[in-house]
Amino acid sequence: MKLFRKYFIPGLATAAVLAVAPSCSEDDTLSGAKEVYVTLNPSSVSLCLGDTVKLGVSVSNVSGDEIKTPVTWLSDDESVAQIVELRDTVFVAGDTIYTALPDSSQYYVERLVKAVNISHGIVAAEGAQGKSTRFRAVVSDSKFAVGTVNVVNHSPSGVTPESESVRTYRPSPVEITDTVWFTVDPWAILKDFAPTASLEKIDNGPSELALADDYIYIDNEGKRVGVIVVPDRSHGEFTLTLTVGGKGDVKTGSATVIVGPNIKVGMWDPEIEGMSPPSGDQFYGFNYEVRKNLDINQETEIWARLMVEGGRAEDVANAKNSYKWEVESGNSLLVIESREVPNEYGFDCVLKVRSGGVNQGDNVINFCSPDTAALVMKAYITVEDWNTVHPVNDIIITPAEGMSLDDLAVSAGANIELDVRVDPLTSLAYHRPQVVIEDPSLVELSSYSGTTLTLRGLKPGTTKVTLSALSVTKEFNITVNEDIVEILWSNAVDRMVVGQEVEFALNVRTTSGQPNSLPVVWTSSNPAVASVAGNGENATVKALADGTTTLTASITTVAGKVTTVSRTLTVAAGLDDIVLSDESIGNGEVGYYKGNDGRYFFYIAASDLGYDNIVIYTKEQITDLNGPVAAEQFDNGDIDGSPVTVTASSLVISEADGGMAKANGELSLSMGGAPVKIIFQNVTLYY
């Protein structure tokens, strides 16, 4: 007969069964063992909510042989800790299966043999933090081992904001909320402690950022904690702190929350050729730095464009306190002023600086704003004594091929390019020659980019151009020649009668667009027929005898280019009556129309009779073209440009229907005192 201990002292790693009948033989069964040892591993468990600790037990005899026997696990108080079954699945490779696919190909699958190992563990129950109980491994009604379990809180390792700086803003009167996110380590600590948050104002802005009523949001899927804030439509800066833990074991994490409109910034410089400012409220075209070199005692400006999404006036005003200038390094610049220049979507932040007269070296100035937290805008400014570091030994001026600097000329309205550089060339960026034009009404500076100096001629004349850099000066003269684009007649006639005088006039187009300043030469190829006396672009033509002559006006430029315009003039002692009928005018026509100037006129095209255009104006519109038209209804007119007046009329319009009418009768005219009649013989009249 054997006597067994019924339980074992908690905390001991082993417990033994004492045999009082030593004559009995030892074996590896509960009934055959002299003594039974039950060992727990572990025998004392410290457990956090959500953790699982695997339990182990060994049963052996005095000889150390394992006794294979079933073990039952129990918890004394399942409201504190609970026993759970753990299953470990083992896969063992077996034979290979070959399977044919519909397309006659094969794929291979290894046959898997599955085994399951069952073990046990212990977990804490919800709400059991700070409590303890016992667990036991029972091998029979009288044989078991006891261990202890304590449920403890997690210890926080850290709280980290997803972004160190967060921007929030209410862009309209409607109240909104925003969320600032943190990661918490370990995540399971939220099973023990509810996180808390606090806000601290760190500037003097008017914003009153607040926490929402239920300001903590737990994102279990993303494993992050959100703090919900309520921004206002103002500006300010706050520190938001999230705290996790308790009982003196806490961790915190903080993020800067900036209240203000959504803005973007970019560096630019209007003095740097080809550098454009950022544009548009979609924030395109940003530069993150500018680089400049300054001479001693020289001023310059640093520009940063700050654009507010939407460009609303109230939001732009709230953005004005969200930036600052910061000198990172250097001591050779003096800040003179800081100002804002409005633009379409916000404003340009301008810092004006001046280089000192003694200190030289490199300077770095930062432009800081909420948009530049990750990438600060920087202005790199180097101050040097250019006269010493970048000397000028000579100014070299090279005109285009085929031109001489001693005889330089350009047409008015045209450009001339010169290659202008200094020696050494490396000094050009610091001592670009200054250009002074003695008479800027003749020549203007169009551009000076790289080494190309472009001058533009304005009007005829000669002026001096002076280039200077440091103590070196070069001069040259440039002559502006006026070119004539074209000459047009603004007033002229093709037909005159003896004794008649007509004023001819020109419209002269020059390359400069300025009035013509060159002399006009007027000539008549047959001065016995008609003489011409010119005064600039106007001339008086006198008809002297029957015949034809060609009148010519010519202009010669300074460069010797001649432009002319000519016109053939026919002179007669008097004019024969003009007899019109549908047959006599052939392909011509007779009509009554409204001109572009609003005046109404009778128009006669009778080239078959030797007349191109005969125009007789009426004093006002004739609304009823079915009846007589008196002389008093006419104003004036011309025959092939030569002016005439109406002295009498027996003109009658009839059958004015269907868009057609007939004209009969006579118009008595006077051209330069010579009478002439236009006789209408049942002529079709268009109107």
- Mind listing the pLDDT tens digit for each residue in 476-490? 999 988 888 899 999
User: Domain 394-479 is in which class?
Assistant: mainly beta
> Which option is the CATH number for 158-259: 3.40.50.20, 2.60.40.10, 3.20.20.70, 3.40.50.970?
2.60.40.10
**Number of continuous H segments (helices) and E segments (strands) in the chain:** 2, 50
Torsion of CA 574, 577, 578, 584, to 10 degrees: -120
At 386, which amino acid appears? W
Share of the chain above pLDDT 90, in %: 60
Alpha helices of 324-417 — where are they, by DSSP H?
386-389
Going from N- to C-terminal start, the domains of the chain cover 36-152, 158-259, 263-388, 394-479, 484-572, 578-686
pLDDT in tens, 143-184: 889 999 999 999 999 999 999 989 899 988 889 999 999 999
CA-to-CA distance for 409 and 460, rounded, in angstroms?
A: 10
User: Domain 263-388 is in which class?
Assistant: mainly beta
Considering the entire predicted model, what is its pTM?
Answer: 0.47
CA-to-CA distance for 316 and 318, rounded, in angstroms?
A: 5
Residues whose CB is less than 8 angstroms from the CB of residue 501 and which lie 6 or more positions away in sequence, other chains included:
540, 541, 542, 543, 672
- Which of 23-27, 324-328, 557-561 has the weakest average pLDDT? 23-27
pLDDT for the residue 96:
58
The tokens for 171 are 């862009």
CA-to-CA distance for 175 and 231, rounded, in angstroms?
A: 8
Q: Is the pLDDT of residue 311 over 90?
A: no
CA-to-CA distance for 82 and 633, rounded, in angstroms?
A: 122
pLDDT for the residue 20:
35
At 422, which amino acid appears? V
Please classify residue 629 by burial: count the beta carbons closer than 10 Å to its beta carbon, then call 0-12 exposed, 13-18 middle and 19+ buried.
Answer: buried
The tokens for 653 are 């319009």
Q: Is the pLDDT of residue 19 over 50?
A: no
Local structure of 595: helix, strand or coil = coil
> Which option is the CATH number for 36-152: 2.40.128.280, 1.10.357.10, 3.10.310.40, 2.60.40.3450?
2.60.40.3450
| 666 beta partners | 679
CA-to-CA distance for 100 and 117, rounded, in angstroms?
A: 35
Q: Is the pLDDT of residue 462 over 80?
A: yes
Local structure of 427: helix, strand or coil = helix
CA-to-CA distance for 553 and 538, rounded, in angstroms?
A: 10
Q: Is the pLDDT of residue 491 over 60?
A: yes
Cβ proximity of 510 and 485 under 8 Å: yes
Q: How confident is the model at residue 26 (pLDDT cuts 50, 70, 90)?
A: low
Higher-pLDDT residue of 624, 637:
637
CA-to-CA distance for 76 and 50, rounded, in angstroms?
A: 19
Higher-pLDDT residue of 343, 354:
354
CA-to-CA distance for 341 and 282, rounded, in angstroms?
A: 20
pLDDT for the residue 561:
84
pLDDT for the residue 145:
92
Average pLDDT, the chain: 87
Q: How confident is the model at residue 373 (pLDDT cuts 50, 70, 90)?
A: low
- Which of 304-313, 359-368, 601-610, 621-630 has the weakest average pLDDT? 304-313
Q: Is the pLDDT of residue 278 over 80?
A: no
The tokens for 278 are 């950022």
Q: Is the pLDDT of residue 23 over 90?
A: no
pLDDT for the residue 44:
95
Which CATH number is 484-572 given?
2.60.40.1080
Beta strands 299-308 and 249-259, pairing class: unpaired
Q: Residue 461 region, left (φ>0) first, then alpha (ψ -120 to 50), else beta? A: left
Q: How confident is the model at residue 285 (pLDDT cuts 50, 70, 90)?
A: low
Same CATH fold assignment for domains 158-259 and 263-388: yes
Cβ proximity of 147 and 95 under 8 Å: no
Cβ proximity of 149 and 137 under 8 Å: no
Residues whose CB is less than 8 angstroms from the CB of residue 199 and which lie 6 or more positions away in sequence, other chains included:
209, 210, 211, 229, 238, 239, 240, 241, 257
Residues in the chain: 687
Helix (H) or strand (E) holding 314: helix 313-319
pLDDT in tens, 584-604: 998 899 999 999 989 999 999
pLDDT in tens, 599-623: 999 999 998 898 889 999 999 999 8
Q: Report residue 392 CA to chain centroid gap.
A: 41
Long-range contacts made by residues 662-671, C-beta under 8 angstroms, separation at least 24? 663/580, 663/590, 665/628, 667/616, 667/634, 668/631, 669/616, 669/637, 669/639, 669/644, 669/645, 670/644, 670/645, 671/496, 671/497, 671/500, 671/575, 671/639, 671/642, 671/643, 671/644
CA-to-CA distance for 137 and 147, rounded, in angstroms?
A: 8
Share of the chain above pLDDT 70, in %: 90
Phi/psi at 315 (nearest 5 deg)?
-70, -40
Q: What is the DSSP letter of 27?
A: -
Residue linked to tokens 């059991």: 128
Helix (H) or strand (E) holding 549: strand 547-556
CA-to-CA distance for 471 and 63, rounded, in angstroms?
A: 112
DSSP string over 149-186: EEEE-----EEEES-SEEEE---SSS---EEEEEEEES
Cβ proximity of 479 and 408 under 8 Å: yes
pLDDT in tens, 645-682: 999 999 999 987 676 899 999 999 999 889 999 999 99
CA-to-CA distance for 661 and 306, rounded, in angstroms?
A: 74
At 132, which amino acid appears? S
Cβ proximity of 15 and 46 under 8 Å: no
pLDDT for the residue 110:
58
